[in-house]
Amino acid sequence: MKNAIQGQRKGPYKPRVMPTDLDELQWLAKKWGADDAVAIKTSEVLTDPRVRFKCMVPKCYMSGGCGHCPPNGYTLEDVRKMLDAHDWAVFFRVKVPAPIIAAKGLGKFIADGNMDPAGNLFNLGGHYLLTFSIVKLLQKTLSEMGYVSRAGFAAGNCRDALCHFQPNCMDLATGSCRHADLSSPSMESCGMDAFTMAARQGWEVYPIGGTCEPESVGGGNLMGLVLIASENKPGLLESPTTLQHPLPPKAKTADNNLGERLKQRRKEARRSLDAMKQSQVTPALLLAMARERKIWTRFTKNLHELYGSWGKVLAKNHLMFSGQPRNKAQGC
Amino acid sequence: METATAYPKARSICAQKDVRQLERDLETLKALALEKGAASAFVVNAKDMPWLENASARSGEEDYSSAHWPLKYPKDSIRDAAAAFEKAIFFVVDTPPRAIDPGQGPIDDKTVRAACKTIYEIAAAVEAAAFYMGHHLTLGFAHANCRAVFCPQEKRCWGEIKGRVCLHPYKARPSMAACGMDSKALAAACGIEDKASANWAAGIVFVD
């Protein structure tokens, strides 16, 4: 299987989804960090009008604060159109150990936007980032294989994982996303009952909320889903898509001499450091990162595979850790 | 029957609904609602929910809107979500005699506010218990405007202000009336008489 993947992969669009390609995609998802991956028909994807309300009743701290979070995001009708426009999907999960995802008091740190001293929130973020990277890698591979994927879904809200140190969601503010190349809406924000879908695959899934403790759950799962269609699938190009608009590149100005640029960079660095300090990011988090080094290493390698160069990986990490302090008026 | 608070471990999600387990859970949740302060609690069929028209119309002259009243779900339908459930726990809490239903407006009477807060607390407790029992899509609704209950001293609802977040996430929630649910008709169906001297307020938790 590995030798087959190393061979020529680009090619013309395929008229239908090949079973061997589905096998390869499941294998790749696991290679990129998924603990389990299955190929399912899009008709097996469960949508339920109640799921989005779990974000709004009662109101989650991020509800409405991110472009993907309810009441924003896609209607159930749009999601069904996306599903109908595709044939198959790769459904995968990334397991999260109970001491991380159900850490006592973690909910309060999440809502406040601060890191907990033990580094559980930081490492939880690593698992989310891994899930986002697997979705994008699968979509990239599908394109290389000759298929189309107009929709990929990850887990959780992308703003916490990708724009943690930023004061706002750029997609809500401008219609363009800072991390369009990595961000995806979550399955749950699109009304998919990921829990029941996972249970039907035989995966053990526990309901994890703000008041549970590590001893009361077996572990957590972050689920992802990537849709697959052959190019000639009817209705494909007309269906809604989850692929987002990136921010336009910054225009170079005549006054942008070296001195000015350095001054600007120093200012941005200071703001980012202030934002991290405000979120209680400390060097001790590096120790926490070391405990989950497999996840962080896998995520970094995934980024390299996605972007093709270590320079771009560094640039992406720089962007993820950039930000500015929240002012009191902005709250969380 | 399990005691009301005997759920130390979260139950894993089932691939298919277990009807007998659901019946046992409903009895446990009903007992929990009573333990937390409900005067009475009932297991009701979600499809028997009576609905009002123009539910989000304001009852008072003052502009007292909040994140949960009127409802702002442009991409979702609360009726569709409620219709997807089979069973719910409907509970009532006594309010002081001759108390006026505040509707969407502010609550000046502290005892009435305390009674409404009890409904929010019961809804939160029953919903959380149902969630950890494996009914992961459970939804609870309370009584009166959450702003009147939790933020009476605030000049505006923070959840409505762009860039700010609700001061009481995970607690504030819509009321039955804001969603268009006719709690009086449902109470009558459960055998509660709506006498002028017998005041009560209601909440509901859709379980599964």
Q: Residue by residue, what is the 3-state secondary structure of chain A? A: CHHHHHCCCCCCCCCCCCHHHHHHHHHHHHHCCCCEEEEEEHHHCCECCCCHHHHCCCCCCCCCCCCCCCCCCCCHHHHHHHHHCCCEEEEEEEEECHHHHCCCCHHHHHHHCCCCCCCHHHHHHHHHHHHHHHHHHHHHHHHHHCCECCCEEECCCHHHHHCCCCCCCHHHHHCCECCCCCCCCECHHHCECHHHHHHHCCCCCCCCCCCCCHHHCCCEEEEEEEEEECCCCCCCCCCCCCCCCECCCCCCCCCCCHHHHHHHHHHHHHHHHHHHHHCCCCCHHHHHHHHCHHHHHHHHHHHHHHHCCHHHHHHHHHHHCCCCCCCHHHCC
Asked whether the predicted pLDDT for residue B38 surpasses 50, the reply is yes
Q: Which of A63-72, A73-82, A89-98 has the lowest mean pLDDT?
A: A63-72
Asked whether the predicted pLDDT for residue A198 surpasses 50, the reply is yes
- What are the pLDDT digits (tens) for B88-111? 999 999 888 767 777 888 888 888
Is residue B98 a contact partner of residue A71, using CB atoms and an 8 Å limit?
no
Residue A218 in contact with partner chain B when CB distance is under 8 A: yes
Is residue B157 a contact partner of residue B67, using CB atoms and an 8 Å limit?
yes
Q: Which two tokens stand for residue B54?
A: 């123009």
Give the per-residue pLDDT at A9.
Answer: 46
Q: Which two tokens stand for residue B202?
A: 């209601």
- B141 contacts in chain A (CB < 8 Å): 57
CA distance A40 to A24: 14
Contact B81 A208 (CB under 8 A): no
Asked whether the predicted pLDDT for residue B62 surpasses 70, the reply is no
Contact B13 A195 (CB under 8 A): yes
Give the residue-averaged pLDDT of A225-231. Answer: 92
Question: In one letter, which amino acid is A164?
Answer: H
CA distance B139 to B149: 19
Residue A232 in contact with partner chain B when CB distance is under 8 A: no
Residue A170 in contact with partner chain B when CB distance is under 8 A: no
Give the per-residue pLDDT at B78.
Answer: 95
- What are the pLDDT digits (tens) for A281-316? 988 898 999 999 999 999 999 999 999 999 999 999
- A332 contacts in chain B (CB < 8 Å): 165
Asked whether the predicted pLDDT for residue B8 surpasses 80, the reply is no
Chain B nearest CA to A58, separation (Å):
5
Give the residue-averaged pLDDT of B156-172. Answer: 83
Contact B85 A58 (CB under 8 A): no
Give the residue-averaged pLDDT of A68-78. Answer: 95
- What are the pLDDT digits (tens) for A140-150? 999 999 999 99
Facing B169 at nearest CB: one of A61, A74, A207 = A61
The whole-model pTM stands at 0.91
**Above pLDDT 90, what percent of chain A?**
65
Top pLDDT among A247 and B154 is at B154
A255 falls in which pLDDT band (50, 70, 90)?
A: low
Cβ contacts of B129 within 8 Å, gap of 6 or more: B7, B28, B29, B32
CA distance B177 to B190: 18
Contact A204 B68 (CB under 8 A): no
Size of interface A-B (CB pairs under 8 A): 125
A contact residues 68-97, partner B, Cβ 8 Å cutoff: 70-76
Asked whether the predicted pLDDT for residue B120 surpasses 70, the reply is yes
- A202 contacts in chain B (CB < 8 Å): 15
Facing A75 at nearest CB: one of B8, B75, B134 = B75
Give the per-residue pLDDT at B109.
Answer: 87
What ipTM is given for this predicted complex?
A: 0.91
Facing B139 at nearest CB: one of A53, A64, A193 = A53
Q: Give residue for tokens 């699938």.
A: A233
